[in-house]
Amino acid sequence: MAALRYAGLDDTDSEDELPPGWEERTTKDGWVYYANHAEEKTQWEHPKTGKRKRVAGDLPYGWEQETDENGQVFFVDHINKRTTYLDPRLAFTVDDNPTKPPTRQRYDGSTTAMEILQGRDFTGKVVVVTGANSGIGFETAKSFALHGAHVILACRNMARASEAVSRILEEW
């Protein structure tokens, strides 16, 4: 590593290049995982990019996947008459990031309950809100009520709860 650093080759533009001591491997069903030999650990995410990958498609023409007596997968290249434990499809991996529903909007500390519930209809839904006579609880209860929900205010003080109901009904 010191020689690479001296030659200026320790820094690379490739984000897919593995750090020293890491190895890229595949499971029998084509999922890519990474082995950290220094810490003797494995993980699914690429150590630099954090992306998950899988191999794309079938083996190249003339290749075959076999399993040795220890259960370890190896690959046979019948054309060049070679065997290897390295999956030849690793050169053609694809990112496999789980699809997350697209976030329509981001919220922060100044976002109100009304903004979060914008465009949603809670008609026929029952909502229980604790601490609903003041603060965040009150704003949440009010927002649900204004969006059609049947809201149950769970409060310790009955007089303050009645006052909160009155304030919500005034706005409604």
The pLDDT of residue 111: 80
Q: Where are the beta strands (DSSP E) in 39-157?
A: 41-43, 53-55, 63-67, 73-77, 82-84, 93-95, 126-130, 150-154
The pLDDT of residue 105: 57
Q: pLDDT confidence of 132, banded at 50, 70, 90?
A: very high
Q: Note the pLDDT tens digit of each residue in 134-171.
A: 999 999 999 999 889 999 999 999 999 999 999 999 88
22-96 fold: Ubiquitin Ligase Nedd4; Chain: W; (2.20.70)
Q: For the residues 40-61, what does the mean pLDDT come to? A: 86
Residues 6+ apart with CB under 8 A from 18: 24, 34, 46, 47, 48
d(CA 107, CA 113) in angstroms, rounded, equals 10
Q: Could you tell me the residue ranges of all domains in the chain? A: 22-96, 115-171
Q: Which of 10-19, 105-114, 134-143 has the highest mean pLDDT?
A: 134-143
Rounded (10°) CA dihedral 115, 121, 123, 125: -70
